[in-house]
A and B are shown apart, each in its own frame.
Chain A
């Protein structure tokens, strides 16, 4: 009997050692997030989420392009381009990272105890962070201090929240498209009125963005169960 127990323990220990030896080593991003004290299980969700990769690539590519296109601090047109396009990045990123059309593992992960809202929030924050870093670095490296160069942050938060709120009724891509189109048309109409002050990104614009973000967050929390169901089957 002793020998059987010992053998069973030996097998269990051997399996544990084998698992440690065979497990893939953490990559650079995983180690970096670990140093930033992000819990390891959250790190795994971020790093191992296949659907996030496309969103990251898109965010980085567009951020770099927009950042390069807005390098002249004195040029209103380049700044306007940055402020107009930057907030749509996280929205598009989330649309590419969540939902049955974007994520092949959508159905399998939906049946896990992880709340859908938490999962989509982790992805949205990840995409937002990548976009902020990718767009923030060119702005910081600019020789002239440009506080307006960061005026897209609150609108980005508002659009992302609004997109998530709309996703409780509509498929992610449709939600993102609606929010992005409304934003682009709205800003172009406001700024097309001849203003030189970039009104949409001034104080009123920022307060409006904050209110939209708050209202959208309330909707998302109230209707969070929608993220736990395959509501996009039609």
Chain B
């Protein structure tokens, strides 16, 4: 099993008259790729394009040498795909087992026994095996998110697309999510969209998407280093002209921008780098 090869060239997409993706280039195979960006940046649309549920208006998208514009190739891509949409759409009245089982059928698991086993394996993987018979409405939001994650993991996909998988998860659940993602690095290409910059720390690569354009692509360390020599702390109120600033617990202010002479520079974080990139024109 080889991780999926994803190549996107000048992918554009318009929705409601607005250009949501404006010439996105990608070339990835294997590993965890975190897609960061503000609301409306195009993260969900990018993942939908990769999931082949939305077709780009222009540009080319090729996954494992397959072009999703052709029906048979699109179906073949979907066989290799695990997709967690932003809104998992779980329906009240169904049990956790039925929800995953239904999607397992759609994913081509026809043999009843094997399918049931596959369903319980993914439920076990996300820690919901003992809640298999519970109705969806009785699950907490974090559990529902994990249930959505379970269906995405069905069939050991080589391309995993997760739209905000960490939303609603408590720290323990986020730890489990990290474990699930990191143990698949070698065999799966994973695109994870999030607005939580600390989640990007475990990724192999980070994409910062702003207004439909990839403003940054590189390692988390490189993203943090973008803010090197641009991050400082001070006791006084931040001077006018700083790009961003916030008050720390100890009363000091953490500032981003061009530091004044003698400023107390600090090591930048991924969030600092992200904020610098996001605000760059």
Instruction: Tell me the A residues contacting B by CB distance below 8 Å.
Output: 15-16, 18-20, 22-24, 39-41, 44-45, 48-51, 53, 103-115, 119, 224-225, 228-230, 233-234
**Structural contact, A108 and B151, CB atoms closer than 8 A:** yes
Proximity bits, B91-109, A CB within 8 Å = 1, else 0: 1011101110111011111
How near does chain A come to B101, taking the closest CB pair, in angstroms?
Answer: 6
Q: 11 A–B contact pairs at CB < 8 A?
A: A15-B124, A19-B120, A40-B110, A45-B106, A50-B93, A105-B99, A107-B53, A111-B78, A113-B76, A113-B106, A225-B71
Interfacial chain A residues near B5, Cβ < 8 Å:
none
Q: Are B103 and A108 in contact (CB under 8 A)?
A: yes
Additional A-B contacts beyond A15-B120, A112-B103, A113-B75 (9; CB < 8 A): A19-B120, A20-B116, A22-B133, A24-B95, A45-B106, A48-B99, A113-B78, A228-B53, A233-B16
Would B151 and A111 count as touching, CB distance under 8 A? no
Highest count of chain B CB atoms <10 Å: which of A19, A40, A109: A19
Assess the B107–A50 pair: CB atoms within 8 A: no
Q: Are B87 and A41 in contact (CB under 8 A)?
A: no
Which residues on the B side are within 8 Å of A48 (C-beta)? 94, 98-99, 101-102, 105
CB of A45 to closest CB in B, whole Å: 6
- Contact partner of B117 (CB less than 8 A), chosen from A16, A44, A115, A229, is A16
Q: Residues of B contacting A111 with CB < 8 Å?
A: 51-53, 78, 81, 83, 85
User: B residues 36-94 with Cβ under 8 Å of A?
Assistant: 48, 51-55, 71, 74-76, 78-79, 81, 83-85, 87-91, 93-94
**Count of interface residues, chain B, beta-carbon cutoff 8 Å:** 51
CB within 8 Å of A: which residues of B?
15-16, 48, 51-55, 71, 74-76, 78-79, 81, 83-85, 87-91, 93-95, 97-99, 101-103, 105-110, 112-113, 116-117, 119-121, 124, 129, 132-133, 148, 151
Given contacts A22-B120, A109-B106, A115-B75, contact A51 B54 (CB under 8 A): no
A108 and B88 contact, CB distance less than 8 A? yes
Per the bound structure, the CA–CA distance linking A225 and B70 in Å amounts to 9
Chain B residues within an 8 Å CB radius of A113: 75-76, 78-79, 106-108
Indicate if the CB atoms of A109 and B91 lie closer than 8 Å: no
Q: Are A19 and B117 in contact (CB under 8 A)?
A: yes
